[in-house]
Structure 1
C-alpha cells in the first residue's frame, strides 16, 4: 500500500477516535451526558438517511444488527425515534426521528460546531479548510453507499 495513503488512513482514524473522545470529555453539555456517542450517531444517521431500516442502520454504523437493538429501544422509549411501516411491505419497519429526536440532533450539531470553530480558530487557514472540504467531497463520492 502507498505509504501516504496508509498515513492518511491512520491519521483519519486517530482524529475520529481521539477527536470524539476529546470533544465528549472537554465540552460540558448535558446532552452528551444523557446520550452515548453511539446513540447520538444513530440519531444523526436516521436524521440524514431516514426513514431507514435497522439493518441499514447497522450497516452504516458497522455493527451487527443485534448490537443496535438495545440502543434503538432506549431511543424509542425516550421518544426520540419511532417505527413506521412501509407502504410496499407492511412487515418492514422503518425508523424515523420524532420532533424531539430532530431537536437533539440539531442541538448536538450546534454544540459540536461551536466547539470545533473555537478550537480551530486561528489554527487553520481558510484555504486549508477549502482543501479539506474538496478532499472529503471526493472521498464521499468514491465511498458512496449503493442506492444513494
Structure 2
C-alpha cells in the first residue's frame, strides 16, 4: 500500500477522534452538557436517514445493539426521537421529533460556528477547496459501495 494512503487514513482517524474531543471541550453550550457525543451522532444519523431501525443505527455507530437501546431510551425520554410503526408490525422505525430537529439544528449551528472560526483562522481558501473536492469524491465512492 502507498505510504501516503496509510498516512491519510491515520490522519483522518486522528482528526476525527481528537477533533471531536477538542470541539466538545471548547464549545460552551448547555446542549453539549445535556447530550453525549454518541447521542448527538445518533440524532445526526436519524436526521440523515429520515427513518431508521435500531439495528441500522448499531451498524452505523459500530456498537452492540445494547448500547443503541440505552441511547434510544434516553433520547425517547428527552422526546427528541419517536418510534414510528410501519406496515410490518415487528419493525419499529425511529425518527426525529420537531424538538429533536430544533435541538440538532442548534447543535450544528454551534459546531459550525466554532469550526468555521477555527478553519478561517488557520486554513487558506484554496486548501478548503481541495478538502471539499477530495471529500466530495470520497463520499461518492463510499455511496457507490452501497453503504
Fold shared by both chains (TM-score > 0.5): yes
1:2 Cα shift? Answer: 1.4
Tell whether 2:9 aligns with 1:5.
Answer: no
**Pairwise CA RMSD:** 1.2
Tell whether 2:101 aligns with 1:133.
Answer: no
Q: Which residue of 2 aligns with 1:23?
A: 23
Q: Which residue of 2 aligns with 1:83?
A: 83
Tell whether 2:100 aligns with 1:101.
Answer: yes
| Distance of 2:66 and 2:102 partners within structure 1 | 27
| Distance of 2:120 and 2:136 partners within structure 1 | 22
Q: Deviations over 1:16-61 (max 9, x none)?
A: 0000000100111111011000000000000111200111111111
Unaligned runs of 5+ in 1: none
Unaligned runs of 5+ in 2: none
- Large movers: runs of 4+ above 4 Å: none
Q: Which residue of 1 aligns with 2:47?
A: 47
Number of residue-to-residue matches in the alignment: 146
Q: Secondary structure at the match of 2:95?
A: strand
Question: What TM-score do you get using the length of structure 1 for normalisation?
Answer: 0.94
Q: Secondary structure at the match of 2:115?
A: helix
Question: What TM-score do you get using the length of structure 2 for normalisation?
Answer: 0.95
Q: Which residue of 1 aligns with 2:60?
A: 60
Q: Secondary structure at the match of 1:113?
A: helix
Q: Secondary structure at the match of 1:122?
A: helix
